[in-house]
Amino acid sequence: MNAAPGSQVGSDTSNSQGIGMKRFPIDAYYRKSTVLPLGCHEAGHYVVARVLGFKAGSVKLQMVDMNGGHIGGSGSEPARALYGVKDILEYLEARVQVAYAGALAQSLSNGKVDEKVALNTLDEGGGLTDSAKARELIHLIRNIRYPAANGEAEIQLGLDEIKDDLWRRAIALIEKDHELIFGLGDRLSSELKFTGQEAELSEAELESMRSIQERFPKPEESKA
């Protein structure tokens, strides 16, 4: 998978890279039940990264079989000037929310997050990498915020507090922009006609979309 320079978020539930695999047509049922939610997963990473101030690149998705196996990605540039502890904490918190965003967006139903589905994706589905990334960052946040914590129970209390707060904040972001996320996920998934085919919304293509321009106006446009 290619992405914007920097951090890659997304999902991969296959050991295959699509080389030599048998191609199957993607029918309407499979597209709606499986491919569309996965498109929303990648779109969720993209939109939340943009909302939280990160430069984001392309969004990609490839179905490798008819059982949900896929390779997806949404790249964002993690570079950001950090001048003190407050900046560091805000940065880490933002990266956790970006990591959570994919599974939360994948679980969207009628504009609302299904937390049970999202947690299952993070624990057992294509969001395992996102989950591991978020968990490590949450430990860093706790280490900074509560350096004097003593004992396993106190440490875990701090971890749970941080996780719950960032989970709720990420849900709020996803639900606020659920229409944009669904639109991008639908456009990405609709481009896939067969397994083994990769669909991509390039950075230039994304920036040309009216929905993206309206949600993320450039500085000179927002002043007009």
The full set of domain ranges for the chain reads 7-223
More confident residue, 15 or 43: 43
At residue 211, does pLDDT exceed 80? yes
Whole-angstrom Cα distance, residue 136 to residue 217?
33
The residues facing 8 across adjacent strands are 75
| Tokens coding 89 | 């904490």
Q: What is the pLDDT of residue 22?
A: 77
Output the pLDDT for position 126. Answer: 75
Asked whether the beta carbons of 138 and 162 are under 8 A apart, the reply is yes
Residue 3 confidence (pLDDT): 34
Q: What is the pLDDT of residue 5?
A: 34
Question: How buried is residue 3: exposed, middle or buried, by Cβ count under 10 Å (0-12/13-18/19+)?
Answer: buried
CA distance 175 to 223: 27
Statement: 7-223 belongs to CATH 1.20.58.760:
yes
